[in-house]
Amino acid sequence: MELKGKPVDQGYRMPAEWEPHSQCWIGWPERPDNWRNNAVHAQDAYVNVATAISRFEPVTVCASSAQWNKARSMLPEHIRVVEMSMNDSWFRDTGPTFVIGNCEEKQNNKIAGIDWNFNGYGGLDGGCYIDWGQDLLIARKVLEIEKTPRFPHSMILEGGSIHVDGDGTCLTTEECLLNKNRNPDLTKEQIENELKSFLGVKKVIWLPRGLHGDDDTNGHIDNMCCFARPGVVLLSWTDDESDPQYERCMEAISVLTNTTDAKGRKFEIFKLHVPGPLYMTVEEAEGVSQDGDAKLRIPGTRLAASYVNFYIANGAIIAPQFGDKKWDTEALHVLSSAFPGYEVVGVEGCREIVLGGGNIHCITQQQPAAASALPN
């Protein structure tokens, strides 16, 4: 069912990721021009992520008709596998952004999904792939399967470019949302107004840039900074002044320390040091097919690897591990401090996901539980 108008006028808001979920949606990597060796290694990593999340909430994995049987055979039985066409498998960006009824308005049993416009991360102006026709339909298909009403929106927006605290504040980056390859005809103020009326937020905090090397997404916020709860953020970090990431960290921390959230709170900031630096090897680049419409992969490219790209499941943090012993371990400690009471689960092998351009947060999409569906 299509809903007209703006979610905020109808009592909806986007909940924070730590609010209860009814399930998690994940795609299935397949395209050989993005995932090396016909995606076999990425598929292993996706199975590990889906399996880890499924300890805490139901998971649905969507796979193309060509891959359904393989996905079904690789995933544990309790994970639902449904057939869905896609151009690539980043459900954070192509899935719906779910919104729920606003508790204050006693309409908290409602749920709907925003179906943003999508242009393959920048269309013909530096986008990741040229044909995004199937990705454009993913949000709508998910909402059909769930019989959930849909708010269509003409603005280009990937879910990985926004984070909310569920309490009035949105975090994003100018590098992505103001990029001329997304919505060249909208001003910053107009984009802010759309975020306010669709996500139900009162304040948008703009970091200038995302993570160094995150060129596929033009600096998505979900690789750079996220909320742990209202007034508390985690920021991708480096202490190495010679790392090009350093300047980005300084810019971001300056914005975050000189602002308050929608409720006037100063931010407590947890620094999550980046791994490595990590670079794409010759073998990894050579495993990616050049026969397709995806961006070419070049050996020696700095990987946009960040521990901020984790998923908050019901009661657990599902965090990437890159095989960097020092920073992998440190990240799990920082996450445990930032999320007391949560089980922190590190998923090995996430280098394979970052090779494709993202990580755990980018491949997942939480479906919030409408309040009426929650146990008392």
Which residues are catalytic, by number?
362
- Please say which residue, 110 or 220, places its beta carbon nearer to ligand KQY: 220
Q: Which positions touch ligand KQY (CB under 6 A)?
A: 34, 88, 90, 92-93, 121, 128, 160, 216-217, 220, 356-358, 362
Contacts of 340 (CB under 8 A, 6+ apart): none
167 or 284: CB nearest ligand KQY: 284
Of residues 203 and 220, the one with the C-beta less far from ligand KQY: 220
Shortest distance in whole angstroms from residue 112 CB to ligand KQY: 23
The C-alpha angle 208, 158, 134, rounded to 5 degrees, equals 150
The secondary structure element, H or E, covering residue 45 is helix 40-54
Give me the residue whose beta carbon is nearest to ligand KQY: 358
- The DSSP result for 86-106, as a single string, is -SS--HHHHS-EEEEE-GGGT
The helix or strand, by DSSP H or E, that contains position 155, with its residue range, turns out to be: strand 150-156
Q: What's the closest the beta carbon of residue 215 comes to ligand KQY, in angstroms?
A: 9
CB of 264 to ligand KQY, least distance (A): 31
Nearer to ligand KQY, 93 or 167 (CB): 93
Could you give the angle at the alpha carbon of 18 between the alpha carbons of 344 and 312, nearest 5°? 40
Nearest distance from C-beta of residue 113 to ligand KQY, angstroms: 18
* 6 touches 194 (CB < 8 A): no
How far is it, in rounded angstroms, from Cα 289 to Cα 362? 22
Could you give the angle at the alpha carbon of 169 between the alpha carbons of 357 and 24, nearest 5°? 50
- Residue 25 contacts by C-beta under 8 Å, 6 or more apart in sequence? 59, 60, 62, 91, 95, 142, 364, 365, 366, 367
> What is the spatial distance between Cα 192 and Cα 135, in angstroms, rounded to a whole number?
25
Q: How far is the CB of 110 from ligand KQY (least distance, A)?
A: 28
Return the number of the residue (230 or 357) whose C-beta is nearest ligand KQY: 357
Q: Quote the least distance from Cβ 31 to ligand KQY, whole Å.
A: 9
In whole angstroms, what is the distance from residue 206 CA to residue 45 CA? 32
C-beta of 61 vs 362, nearer to ligand KQY: 362
Which tokens sit at 139?
């949000």
